[in-house]
Amino acid sequence: MAEHLGLSEAISRYVQDGDTVALEGFTHLIPFAAGHEIIRQQKRDLTVSRMTPDLIYDQLIGAGCVRKLLFSWGGNPGVGSLYRFRDAVENGWPVPLELEEHSHAGLTNRYVAGASGMPFTVMKGYLGNSLGEIASHVRFLDCPFTGETVAAVRALNPDTGILHAQRADRAGNVQLWGISGVFREVAMASGRVIVTVEEVVDVLDRRPGDFVMPSMAVTAVCEVPQGARPSYVQDYYERDNDLYRKWPEMSRDRDTFLAWLDESVMGA
Amino acid sequence: MPTWAADEIMSVVAARLLRDGMSCFVGIGIPSTVANLARNTHAPNLFLIYEAGALGAKPYRLPLSIGDGELAVTADSVVSVPEIFNYWLQGGHIDVGYLSAAQIDRFGNLNTTVIGPDYHDPKVRLPGAGGAPEIAAHCHEVTVIMRHARRAFVPRVDFVTSVGLGPEPDTRSRLGFRGAGPIKVITDLGILRPDPQDNELTLVAIHPGVEVRDVQDRTQWPLRVAPSLEVTNAPTSEELAALRDLKNRS
């Protein structure tokens, strides 16, 4: 059963230095408020996984929380580079960053295997490319039925999965609609699950295309209105595309980034 | 003097190749422009799939990012990311996918990962794979759209992010890929297609006003020219108006 907690209590209890943490959400429902709380609590040496690091991991990396990044597409979509990510990779600032690189399907399937309680799952996309050669989480094996070669990808079970959704009820059932990304896979693969929500309501009135993650699959629910800004929450608020476009100039220079961090995250 | 920009002729030429009713796997940027231009002109029933989970998206504005709300609310259905990659792509339901890259080689291998010989110490760190390896492997065919620059058209890519046509005729079938791979490459200078004999990308068409020598100068391998070299039809005023209208909305 999920427990209703304040965000700072949930992060302090369920994210420890050195943990593997997945903060997911595909463009939609990115748990920025939880990421900022991790920065405020100065967690260190985290291994973080996300398909698209996005601004949220650029910020965690620039704040020195991250030792290792698992990812599958490391840009600012439609805009360009992530400069804190690049500075950490190219110059080791503020701390060296180890990369473990995937394709979208590869990282997705690692969550699928983890959620399924399997040591690995199989796919084809790594056959014949350089990623399949360099990645330590990819191996090749022959299908026992047909003999064809397939790529095996190792299961990923984060210590803590952190996700955002529209609503929860008092019992901690979580309701989400719109683009769901890998919400279910991360929730089911992770040892502990923190879900931040826009609002807690008495009754979850159902929506077309929604799903409800039962309370028993969730560790903590935190009511954090606006908790996904500057990403978006369908039927609550739109993506702040202007901020995404401005992020390069806010983050390219270390001092400018640190000033932003002090004012907008540490001081918040 | 041409009255269109480089991105405009690439978008118009690529959009013409789409037939109504096809299913298209669409990325952000020019691919999204191409697919929606075709949908707004000659192919109103194109089925657009965006990797964040939108099936049958019909955006009015072009999205900035792959998971924009505009895609979800106009879609026939929204599914999870594992469903998109495992069922829709790997399952073989997509007719055409679009890719671009920092490097393409003579066999259509694509690099969006690193520039330089050493992966661990790259000259340039690029965004990485995203959905590209699966698009290249599993769509029935792939159209590559990219600007024709000498540093981008290389004999051999530094890193194979997405598998092209291979030096051997059976490279793809030995890998178990059912799709034909990148069989059309559309640039701002012309169109390249693989030679049926050995899969090497060959110039089959040039855009109006372009000389063959311009294309060869901007290609690092000795680019072959098809004996039946064609000149593409210039973008019509209707095509350019539809394209500019779509851009202005977005």
pLDDT in tens, B111-154: 999 999 999 988 888 999 999 999 999 999 999 999 999 999 99
Average pLDDT per block of 10 residues along chain A, 268 residues long: 97 98 96 98 98 97 98 87 91 95 98 98 97 96 97 98 98 97 98 98 93 97 98 95 96 97 92
A232–B127: do the CB atoms touch at under 8 Å? no
Cross-strand partners of A192 = A160
Determine, yes or no, domain membership for A189: yes
| pLDDT at site A208 | 85
Neighbours of A121 (CB within 10 A): 22
Q: Verify that A75 and A207 share a domain, yes or no.
A: yes
Per-residue tokens: B202? 């060959």
Determine, yes or no, domain membership for A166: yes
Q: How confident is the model at residue B172 (pLDDT cuts 50, 70, 90)?
A: very high
Determine, yes or no, domain membership for A248: no
Q: Verify that A88 and A213 share a domain, yes or no.
A: yes
**B51 flagged as catalytic:** yes
A134 touches chain B (CB under 8 A): yes
Q: Verify that A144 and A15 share a domain, yes or no.
A: no
| pLDDT at site B162 | 96
Q: Which residues of A touch B163 (CB under 8 A)?
A: 127-129
DSSP for A106-172, written as a single string: HHHHHHHHHHTT-SEEEESTTTTSHHHHH-TTEEEEE-TTT--EEEEEE----SEEEEEEEEEETT-
Q: Verify that A20 and A144 share a domain, yes or no.
A: no
What is the C-alpha separation between A55 and A228, in angstroms, rounded? 12
Determine, yes or no, domain membership for A190: yes
CB of A138 closer than 8 Å to CB of A101: no
Q: Verify that A176 and A69 share a domain, yes or no.
A: yes
B159–A234: do the CB atoms touch at under 8 Å? no
CATH number at residue A221: 3.40.1080.10
B90–A105: do the CB atoms touch at under 8 Å? yes
Which among B190, B166, B167, B93 is positioned nearest to B135, based on CA atoms?
Answer: B93
Whole-number Cα distances in Å, A61 to A26, A54, A225: 19, 11, 24
Residues 6+ apart with CB under 8 A from A246: none
Per-residue tokens: B234? 């210039």
Q: Which residues of B touch A125 (CB under 8 A)?
A: 85, 90, 133-134, 137-138
Q: What is the pLDDT of residues A141-167, one digit of tens each?
A: 999 999 999 999 999 999 999 999 999
Residues 6+ apart with CB under 8 A from A96: A67, A88
Identity of residue A116: S
| pLDDT at site A137 | 97
Q: Could you give the ipTM of this predicted complex?
A: 0.94
A105 touches chain B (CB under 8 A): yes
Q: Verify that A184 and A131 share a domain, yes or no.
A: no
Interface of A with B in 31-90 (CB under 8 A): 51-52, 71-75, 77-79, 81, 86, 89-90
Q: For residues A135 and B73, which has the higher predicted lDDT (pLDDT)?
A: A135
What is the C-alpha separation between B100 and A142, in angstroms, rounded? 32
Q: Which residues of B touch A74 (CB under 8 A)?
A: 125, 127-128
| pLDDT at site A78 | 77
| pLDDT at site B68 | 75
The percent helix, strand, coil of chain A (3-state, each to 5) is 30, 25, 40
Determine, yes or no, domain membership for A252: no
| pLDDT at site B2 | 64
Cross-strand partners of B193 = B202
Residue of A nearest to B76 (CA): A209
A229 touches chain B (CB under 8 A): no
| pLDDT at site A4 | 98
What is the C-alpha separation between B79 and A177, in angstroms, rounded? 10
Per-residue tokens: A175? 């309701």
Determine, yes or no, domain membership for A74: yes
Q: Verify that A8 and A140 share a domain, yes or no.
A: no
Determine, yes or no, domain membership for A75: yes
Minimal Cβ distance to B64: which of A77, A108, A131? A77
Q: Verify that A96 and A172 share a domain, yes or no.
A: yes
Quote the percentage of chain B above a pLDDT of 90.
81
B82–A128: do the CB atoms touch at under 8 Å? no
Q: Verify that A141 and A12 share a domain, yes or no.
A: no
Interface mutation vs chain A, best among B28, B62, B78, B81, most A CBs within 10 Å:
B81
Determine, yes or no, domain membership for A240: no
CATH number of B6-249: 3.40.1080.10
Q: Verify that A115 and A184 share a domain, yes or no.
A: no
Interface mutation vs chain A, best among B25, B26, B32, B65, most A CBs within 10 Å:
B65
B94–chain A nearest CA distance, Å: 15
Q: Which residues of A touch B82 (CB under 8 A)?
A: 108-109, 111-112, 182, 185
Q: Verify that A26 and A142 share a domain, yes or no.
A: no
Neighbours of A161 (CB within 10 A): 32
Domain boundaries, position A116: 104-154
- Domain parsing of chain B, residue ranges: 6-249
What is the C-alpha separation between A115 and B170, in angstroms, rounded? 36
Q: Verify that A97 and A162 share a domain, yes or no.
A: yes
Dihedral sign (CA A212, A216, A220, A222): positive
Number of domains making up chain A = 2
Residue B141, classed as helix, strand or coil, is strand
Which among B144, B145, B142 is positioned nearest to B179, based on CA atoms?
Answer: B142
Residue A86 zone, left/alpha/beta (φ > 0; ψ -120 to 50; rest): alpha
What is the C-alpha separation between A87 and B47, in angstroms, rounded? 40
Residue B197, classed as helix, strand or coil, is coil
CA angle B175, B89, A142 (to 5 degrees): 35
